[in-house]
Each structure stands twice: as structure tokens, then as C-alpha cells.
Structure 1
Amino acid sequence: MRLVLAVVALLLTGCGSGTTAATPQHNAADVMFLQMLIPQNEQGIEIVRLAAARPVPAAVKELAKAIEVTQQTEVTDMRRWLAEWNQPETVAPEAHAGHGGMKMTSPDLVGALRTAPDSEFTRRFLDVLTGQQQGAVELAQTENGTSGGVNAQARDLARRVIESRTAEVKQLLNVKT
């Protein structure tokens, strides 16, 4: 329950005002961050949904559900911002190669997780999801870096991603399998 409340609190802290008139509404770094985080989050949602029908510890199921809700809300917000900015939601993955590339989990790892026997699923799930969440942290750090974005909402989202995903990784590393 405490975890669910923490997730709700993180979502609520993301509600804020826009930027001032003197500051550009967004820049290329903001757009790139959102374009890269949307597919990263969608893949995270795909991964955590795999735990729903598997025999994993209750704490893992609870965390997976909280991650799904949080990341789906983030995707909805990011899509809305890009639409408001008249920017495309996605671009070809190679378009971001100069920025360190997409922080995605290998499709082979996700496929192997999908077909893993129940006896190995929890361990593999924890490994894959830990890497996925660490990738989100790395991506968010680019938004808040010195040459990052200027949009207050996108920068706040990046801050929340860093905080929440770092906390989730700590929880994942403490699960006993």
C-alpha cells in the first residue's frame, strides 16, 4: 500500500504550470527526450504485464502494477505534450543514435522472458526489468543535463523518472528469489 501511495504522490507532483513567456516552450532536447521515453515506457509496460499471469512474489506483482500505471500515465502526458508542440510522437530509432541511442531492452531478452519457464521467470523478470528501469534513468539524465531540455514539465518528468526508477531498481534488487 505504501508503494501505491508513493506512486500516486509522484504522479501528483508532476502537475504544474507551464513555462514563462520569456523561456521557449520547448527545444529539440525536450522533443527528443519524449520521443525516446515513449517507446522505452511502452516496452516497460509490456515487460511488467508479463508478471500478471506468472507465479511471482506478491511484492513483485504489486510493484509491476504500480510501474504499469505510472508509465502509462507518463506516456499519455508525453503524447499530449508532443501533440501540443506539433511534433511527431516517434521517429526512426537511428535518428537518436547521435544522442546515445534508444535505451531499450533487447527484443530477444523480452522474448526469452515471455517464454521462460515459471521456475526461472521471477529471476529473469527481475534482471530484465532492472535493466529496463536503469535505461530510463540514463535517458532522463540527458533531459536534465546542461545541454538538455528547457520545458519545465519535461524536466520535471525527467526528475520524477530518475527518482521513481532508481527507487524501483532498489526494490527489485532486494527481492528474494
Structure 2
Amino acid sequence: MRVVLAVVALLLTGCAATAAPPQYNAADVMFLQMLIPQNEQGIEIVRLASDRPVPASLKELAKAIELTQQTEVADMRRWLHDWDQPETMDMNPQAHAGHGGMKMTSPDLVGALRAVPDGEFTRRFLDVLTGQQQGAVELAQTENGTAGGVNGQARDLARRVIESRTAEVKQLLNTKT
């Protein structure tokens, strides 16, 4: 009986000494830090459709995108806070090269979209938003790639971003202008 207890004690001690896998890694942090501003810009873009004469289905899609991305931003901020990591990323573009670089829409394109006459807005909005959503897919693919993150929540978010944004792009491409 003492031998069994000694073996159990050794096994338990060994288990306690084994390092737990990391809760997150640098790729998880960078993914979230890059997706937050990407989502915030997406929210800014879709809000432009609220006061413009666009098809009702496009207004509905824009509102759904806004709500989804707001929820994602809140989740990502909470995770970074829980991990004691900053919400903002290193602004040096070279820091993001391993993630394929920033996937943001040019601020000039967003600014120009604000000034587009109503008659051209839908077509230009579709172009800008399609590019924005495709950028999110590319960013999410880095998280789930071989050199990507290890955090289950972040990887699940990346999977959902890939699925939802891909479906949104298809819907945007099928919208009649």
C-alpha cells in the first residue's frame, strides 16, 4: 500500500510540475490588436450606409455587420485585458510583416466614400466594404495558420471571422446597384 501511495504521490507531483500550455501567445495578441482597429474601421464604413439611399437588404447587412463587429471588439478588448496585454499594437509596420501586414482600408478611400454623391454611393460602398471584409478574412487566416495563435477563443473568433466575412463578401458581390 505504501508503494502505491508513493507512486501516486510521484505522479501527482509530476503532474503539478508539468507546465500548462500557454493560455495565449504573441500571435494571439497580435491578431486581436490588429483586428480591433480593422473592425472599428469596418464599423465606421457600414455606418455610412445608414443615412444613404441604399437597398434595404444592404442597410440590413450593414447593421448586422456593425453589431457583430462591436461584439467582437468588446470580446477582444476583454481578452487582452485579462491577459494583461495592451489593446493597441506596435505602430511600426515592420512589426506586422509576419501577419501579412495591416489589412486596413486606406483612410483616403473611407474619406472619399463620405463625399460620394448618393447616386454613386451604393457601388462605391460595395467596393470599399468588400475590400474591408476580405482584409479581415486574410488577417483571421494568419491566426489559424501553422504559425498562428494557440488560444482557443481567439482561434474560434478567427474561424468565425473567416466564415462570416466570406459569406458577407458573397452577399455584397451579389447586391445589385
Question: Is the TM-score greater than 0.5?
Answer: yes
Taking the TM superposition and a 5 Å limit, the aligned residue runs for 1:12-31 are 22-31=20-29
Report the alpha carbon displacement of residue 96 of structure 1 after superposing the two structures with TM: 1.6
Corresponding residue for residue 108 of structure 2: 108
Taking the TM superposition and a 5 Å limit, the aligned residue runs for 1:4-153 are 22-93=20-91, 94=93, 95-153=95-153
Name the CA distance, whole Å, in 1 between partners of 2:67 and 2:97. 29
Name the CA distance, whole Å, in 1 between partners of 2:28 and 2:67. 23
Highest RCO, 1 vs 2 (Cα 8 Å, sep ≥ 6): 1
Q: CA RMSD in A?
A: 1.0
Give, as a single letter, the amino acid of the residue that structure 2 aligns with 1:69.
L
Q: Secondary structure at the match of 1:75?
A: helix
Normalized per residue, the structure richer in helix is 2
Q: Unpaired runs of 5+ in structure 2?
A: 1-18
- Could you list the runs of 4 or more consecutive aligned residues of structure 1 that deviate by over 3 angstroms after TM superposition? none
Indicate conservation of the 8 Å contact 2:30/2:89, yes or no.
Answer: no
Aligned pair count?
157
Corresponding residue for residue 174 of structure 1: 174
- Largest Rg, 1 or 2: 2
Name the CA distance, whole Å, in 1 between partners of 2:78 and 2:147. 24
Give, as a single letter, the amino acid of the residue that structure 2 aligns with 1:136.
A
Corresponding residue for residue 156 of structure 2: 156
Q: TM-score, normalised by structure 1?
A: 0.86
Name the CA distance, whole Å, in 2 between partners of 1:137 and 1:64. 17
